[in-house]
Amino acid sequence: MYIQDLIKLSLIVSSLSLAGCGGSDSNEPTPVIVPNLAPSVSIAPNTASAIEKATFSVSAVATDSDGTIASYQWKVISSHTLVLAGEMTSSVSFMAPDVGLSGDTVQLEVTATDDDGAKSTASTSILINAKTIPLTIKGLATDSPLSNAKISAHIAGRDISVEAIAENDGKYSVDLLLDDAEASSFISISARGVSQQSNAGLISLLGTAEELSTIAGDDNVLTSAEHFAVNVTNITTAKYAFAKRANSGKDITTTALLESLYAGLNYDEVMMLATAIKVAIDKSAANNTLSLPEGIPDTLSLVENAAKAKAYVEMVQSAPEYTEAQQEIYQDTNLVDADSDFNVPAKYYVLPADSLSRGDGFDFMPNGKGSSKDLTFDWTESNGEITATIVGQDIKTFKTQESIYGRMTYVKVQNLIDKIQFKRLSSSTKSDLLLITWTNRRHYPNAELTDEISTSTSISVAVKEAGIIPIEPMTAGFASLTIDEEIIDGDISVEADLFTLTANGQGSRELLNDNFTWKVEQGALFITLENGKKLRFRKISDAGVADIFSYESSEDGINFTTNIMGQGKISPKRAWTAAEVAGIYDYTNNQFDSGDLSHFWIELQTNGDAETYSAIDSNENGEISTNELFIAYGKWKIEDDGSLTITRVRKQDGNYSPKCRDAATTGCTLYHERNWRLFANKDNAYGLHQKQHFYRSNFSSNNNTLDTIWYGNRTFFKLKTRPVDIDQLPSQ
């Protein structure tokens, strides 16, 4: 540019010099002024697209025919707020904005300025495409299969659903294209029947989009072989209903929450609701007394209405169709996961069915051998089903009276277990939901009668090694833990003891009155008793007010045998307060009346009075009458150690009377004392270490009559109303 300016200047000087040499005015040249030309600018690539949240670059191509490009200036001319990198250079980059499935367009403008200040602009439009999660879900809608059912996939976070139609055999396929922003959105599948199955409504909760995409793999197709929950059934619908209620009616949005809720369900009640669903769909057409309640269009609407579901279950459970439906569920192969890969776990920790039960531990060794407490077995696996054939068990023989040739005769009897079958109804990394069938045999060793074979089936959660919850490290503590039953002095049964853990690694058991050393390692509590026996406690579940721990024993401290599972808590000691005591306490918090017409509860009054109720349909006429209700009277008080004692007092003749509440009253005698040490409380649930002492010797003239004492961990629930309306009982 400097040389060009000199040339221009020399031409002007030359012109002036010539003008100074004389000549006429008509020969003078006109000065030539050369204008500055604006630069030329364009953007490359000319048409462009980018993926959301990815870095994208474009470049300006600028030239100046009579000079050079001095500067560049980029700006966003669309409505987006973007951070431009290199906005004053020829190339600019930016992070593509988050967009919806329909995409969006970003517009940029660049201004090129030459060395004389001339400017030119160019603009470009860049299509921003959504980053997507493609997913096809293939499964089965079945109660019996729902033909041509309307299938909907629901994606949490946006009010839409994707619909499809199932085939005649209930098989369906749903294609989803999700924005990657929905990776954490929870997906469920629902199915609604048509025509004669129009009262069918089923649902299954699957997991988040990201999780399901990972499970589906490279082909982006999720099948039952990869995730059995794609099958929408009466059981998945019942699980959904109870899990949502346990979550206070809120939607379930994470798999971790879902698994935790599932682990805490009462699967007896899940089966009751699943069976009722099957009755409504499969049996009501032939018996209209089993039809859904008025105003309830289908079974999904039923389970979402707790009051209507309770009334319907309790109405149909006495019908023969209910028993038929339950057996059909047990035998329905569509409900059993036989498709997915099944690596038999080294251990199954089967959770207790309720607050009165213990769980079972099963060890499966690679050589096809296994054990569970006092059972040893050979096991095989086929099509997702484990069969454990019992080869050794602790056999107890007792005598009972049986009718032989019309005469009641004492015979020896043994109750044996022949085999146990485990069928997976659902599976996850941490646990499996199992349909467990026990085949039992009533054996007459002297062959007076033919052996009687019976089976019992239940649904239970079985936790695997990956589902063990680590026990947090601690320097000291207190624990109430379930143990294998130990008998003291012939009449004291200890099923749970109180453990004091001191800071120096020493400890003691209160009831068994011994010392031990302890440590927390690998997420488990290890205890070595004075006799050298080694114990291991592992936390299996924390879904309830009381945690569930496994009690395991070992001779070498390396190989532990799983004995039992039971309730417990490792926590500071707690004391009762007078303000929280009064109320109605029951062992169960069931949403449905099981129909067995057997109830037990305790009422504690604010004035210190206590009543213990039991009601049973002893004459089996289908109802409880006033003479089938029994009330024991007593008192309650909080002890100095913060525990709660509840008494039952009888008259000297053994009968109960409201006038006999205190054993100090003349003519009244203590019969039963219950002591509750509180170790946990959540909502209406109370985790307790319970002692029961029956003072049988007070009512026997036989000096050999022993009192009975039992210790164990229990959960009681404080109810709003009595389980039986005693004011409405018929007299008989």
Determine the average pLDDT of the residues in 259-271: 91
Q: For the chain, how long is the longest CA-to-CA vector?
A: 162
- The mean pLDDT value of the chain amounts to 91
Q: Specify the pLDDT at position 515.
A: 97
Q: Are 329 and 608 in contact (CB under 8 A)?
A: no
Pairing of strands 561-570, 452-463: unpaired
What tokens does 573 get? Answer: 């000691």
Whole-angstrom distance, CA of residue 143 vs CA of residue 102: 38
pLDDT band at residue 164 under the 50/70/90 scheme: confident
Determine the average pLDDT of the residues in 652-681: 95
Write the pLDDT tens digit of every residue in 5-20: 433 434 344 443 434 4
Kindly report the backbone phi and psi dihedral angles of residue 47, in degrees, each rounded to the nearest multiple of 5, phi listed first. -120, 135
User: Is 684 a residue whose pLDDT tops 80?
Assistant: yes
Query: What percentage of the chain exceeds 70 in pLDDT?
Result: 95
Q: Specify the pLDDT at position 159.
A: 59
Q: Specify the pLDDT at position 11.
A: 38
Q: Specify the pLDDT at position 461.
A: 94
Q: Specify the pLDDT at position 487.
A: 93
Detail the DSSP E strand segments found in 32-157.
Answer: 40-44, 48-51, 55-63, 69-76, 91-95, 104-114, 119-129, 132-140, 150-155
Ranges of each domain in the chain: 1-30, 40-129, 132-335, 347-467, 477-570, 578-728
User: Is 151 a residue whose pLDDT tops 70?
Assistant: yes
Start-end of H helices in 21-51: none
Residue with the larger pLDDT of the pair 132 and 21: 132
Domain 477-570 and domain 578-728, same fold? Reply is: yes
Where is average pLDDT lowest: 68-82, 155-169, 226-240, 364-378?
155-169
What tokens does 297 get? Answer: 């269009």
Write the pLDDT tens digit of every residue in 199-220: 999 999 999 999 999 999 999 9
Q: Rounded to two decimals, what is the model's pTM?
A: 0.82
Whole-angstrom distance, CA of residue 264 vs CA of residue 246: 9
Order of all β-strands in the sheet with 69-76: 48-51, 119-129, 104-114, 69-76
Cis peptide before 45 (omega within 30 of 0): yes
Closest-CA residue to 550 (of 621, 483, 488): 483
Where is average pLDDT lowest: 69-73, 157-161, 375-379, 509-513?
157-161
Distance of CA 480 to the CA centre of its chain: 25
Single-letter code of the amino acid located at 179: D
Whole-angstrom distance, CA of residue 536 vs CA of residue 513: 19
- Close Cβ partners of 150 (under 8 Å, ≥ 6 residues apart): 163, 165, 166, 191, 192, 194
The radius of gyration of the chain's CA atoms, rounded to the nearest angstrom, is 39
Residue with the larger pLDDT of the pair 296 and 260: 296
Q: Specify the pLDDT at position 23.
A: 46
Closest-CA residue to 670 (of 651, 657, 653, 690): 651
Query: What percentage of the chain exceeds 90 in pLDDT?
Result: 76
Under DSSP, the state recorded for 27 is G
Write the pLDDT tens digit of every residue in 439-471: 999 999 999 999 999 999 999 999 999 999 999
Single-letter code of the amino acid located at 209: A
Distance of CA 4 to the CA centre of its chain: 82
Q: Is 647 helix (H, G, I), strand (E, B) or coil?
A: strand
Among the four given CATH numbers 3.40.50, 3.30.70, 2.40.128, 2.120.10, the one describing domain 477-570: 2.40.128
Q: Specify the pLDDT at position 27.
A: 66
Write the pLDDT tens digit of every residue in 580-631: 999 999 998 888 776 668 899 999 999 999 999 999 988 888 888 989 999 9
Q: Specify the pLDDT at position 13.
A: 40
User: Is 22 a residue whose pLDDT tops 60?
Assistant: no
Determine the average pLDDT of the residues in 253-280: 93
Q: Specify the pLDDT at position 603.
A: 98
CATH number attached to the domain at 40-129: 2.60.40.10
Write the pLDDT tens digit of every residue in 62-101: 999 999 999 999 999 999 999 999 999 999 999 999 898 8
pLDDT band at residue 732 under the 50/70/90 scheme: low
Q: Hey, what CATH topology would domain 578-728 get?
A: Lipocalin (2.40.128)
Q: Specify the pLDDT at position 618.
A: 86
User: Is 378 a residue whose pLDDT tops 90?
Assistant: yes
Determine the average pLDDT of the residues in 469-496: 94
Beta bridge partners of residue 308, listed in sequence order = none
Determine the average pLDDT of the residues in 670-694: 96
Determine the average pLDDT of the residues in 90-114: 93
Whole-angstrom distance, CA of residue 426 vs CA of residue 339: 11
pLDDT band at residue 568 under the 50/70/90 scheme: very high
